[in-house]
Structure 1
Amino acid sequence: MDMNTIQDLVPTAQPSDWRPGDAWLAGGTVLFSYGSSTLQRLLDITQGGWEPLTASAEGLEIAATCTIAELYAFAGELPPAASEWTSLAAVRPCCEAFVASFKVWNVSTVGGNVCTALPAGPMIALTAALDGQALVLSPDGSSRTLPVTEMVTGDGETALAPGELLRSMTLPAQALSSRTAFRRLSLSNLGRSGVLVIGRLDPDGTFVLTVTASTVRPVQLRFGALPDQAELRAALDDAIPFTLYHDDVHGLPQWRQYMTERLSEEIRAELAGETEAGQ
């Protein structure tokens, strides 16, 4: 890691303080790993005083500065307001998908993982699968909200404009009250996710399938009711052109496509009650 151009570390969570040459800093696990030869200042948002997790009747707000350790602990000891949010069963598997060291587990943040926009980002998978809405603050004092599925646009690419700051992601109560099924696959036991798929069956019968890790950006499919195997396969083919499958040392596109289809069918069958959970 080489960041010898940094001139100042500024504790601030105010977008109006941003200027060209700045980078927002939360956990910094990726920023410090990659380094930079152009950045001049780091704006430390961890002093913003944001509550990591806020549960209400509307849903769960996850601050961008919430650490993976805090989110994992929350899922194990739910407050009364979240006692019926069955979809939170997906939280711990997504946290574990980091296969993280003690440092990453306790320092890395949910918002940082989303904004880094790596295809294998498990917080992207979690928040996208549960219809997360990202609150983005702009340097001019305005704010906007957009789905996580639209904020992450490619491998390392987001819809954030220069200086914009991710404040939080809110998971709506309706999505949180759904049944979920989770599948993840890697080429090695401790490797980066090559495929991560989460299925969701809402109380009204809607089926939502979210594909990440195998694709360069999140892909979400929605059905009014659970499809059959043929319908699901056809929908995946339509929604994910082959060029959208990721290609790196963690898996060839052909393998990622095949396993996406296979794991998606396992999820469909599980939520339909056709197989044992997790089989």
Structure 2
Amino acid sequence: MDINTITDLVPTADPAHWRPGDAWLGGGTVLFSYGSQSLQRLLDITRAGWEPLTVREDGLEIAATCTVAELYAFAGDLPAAAADWTALELLRPCCDAFVASFKVWNVSTVGGNICTALPAGPMTSLTAALDGQALVLSPDGTARTQPVTELVTGDGQTSLAPGELLRSVTLPATALQARTALRRLSLSNLGRSGVLVIGRVDPDGAFILTVTASTVRPVQLRFGSVPGRAELRAALDAAIEFPLYHDDVHGLPQWRQYMTERLSEEIRAELAADPQAREAAQ
């Protein structure tokens, strides 16, 4: 698509430089696909020099400019400090959920995927499911943190104010140490996700289920322990009113609702099983 109104490409990651008519530029895969007839400047954050992935004692920080390719490669060569972060097994399945070529993987960014706020955005699925905390920089020089589950508010909608910039998302170590299970479904083998549900059991026994792709925004359910089948079904019905289910060519709301309930039950049953007994059986 054409973006023939652009007059400047500005290399900056400072929100103080933002003005009306600007757009932040990361990978640009969505921006250049949709085009624009109103943008005047692109603020290029790719030269900010942010470390793509930083392992800390309290968790994993993922820079907004981290590409899908960098995230996928990290999952295959984890540092010793991340040895007990079992939830990192989700990284590659979520990268695969892009169903995109290596050309896209090498430029598309984690932050861009989240901020685009498509219901099927797999980086939203990943970071929301692992209690990701977004660091947001504002034009007035302040910064704030916000859960990814609250940052994405609807189909193509976020809580970001004009000029605000997503700097990074931090996944806490407690969530990274969880046992996890993922289910993804599409209407075709290489189609956009129609349902993507991730469950986890934290070291303290808490059970967290995060529903994405089937809903217009992430929906997270939290329990003190793995619930029973009926309890989970009732909680899903209470948390997700029918209008919240997404409706587009990739799936009708009725199908998304049914498959969300079915896949959530599969995840619940898998994570309810005694992991030691499962290992012995294998």
**TM alignment of 1:6-25, pairs within 5 A:** 6-25=6-25
- The one-character-per-residue Cα deviations of 1:112-159 (angstroms, maximum 9, x if unpaired) are 000000000000000000000000000010000000000000000000
Q: Does 1:209 align with 2:209?
A: yes
Amino acid at match of 2:200: R
For structure 2, the 5+ residue unaligned runs are: none
Q: Does 1:198 align with 2:198?
A: yes
Amino acid at match of 1:197: V
For structure 1, the 5+ residue unaligned runs are: none
SS class of match (2:136): strand
Distance in 1 separating the partners of 2:71 and 2:274: 31
Distance in 2 separating the partners of 1:73 and 1:272: 31
- The one-character-per-residue Cα deviations of 1:4-40 (angstroms, maximum 9, x if unpaired) are 1000100100100100000000000000000000000
Distance in 2 separating the partners of 1:221 and 1:193: 20
Alignment RMSD (CA, Å): 1.2
Find the counterpart in structure 2 of residue 260 from structure 1: 260
Distance in 2 separating the partners of 1:84 and 1:78: 10
**TM alignment of 1:147-162, pairs within 5 A:** 147-162=147-162
Distance in 2 separating the partners of 1:163 and 1:265: 41
**TM alignment of 1:109-258, pairs within 5 A:** 109-258=109-258
Distance in 2 separating the partners of 1:58 and 1:185: 32
Q: TM-score under structure 2 normalisation?
A: 0.97
Q: Percent identity?
A: 81
Shift of 1:66: 0.1
Find the counterpart in structure 1 of residue 79 from structure 2: 79
Distance in 2 separating the partners of 1:44 and 1:81: 32
Amino acid at match of 1:242: F
Amino acid at match of 1:210: T
Shift of 1:101: 1.2
Q: Which runs of 4+ in 1 moved over 4 A?
A: 274-277
Distance in 1 separating the partners of 2:197 and 2:104: 23
Distance in 2 separating the partners of 1:102 and 1:69: 8
SS class of match (1:55): strand
Find the counterpart in structure 1 of residue 67 from structure 2: 67
Aligned length: 277
Distance in 1 separating the partners of 2:32 and 2:13: 19
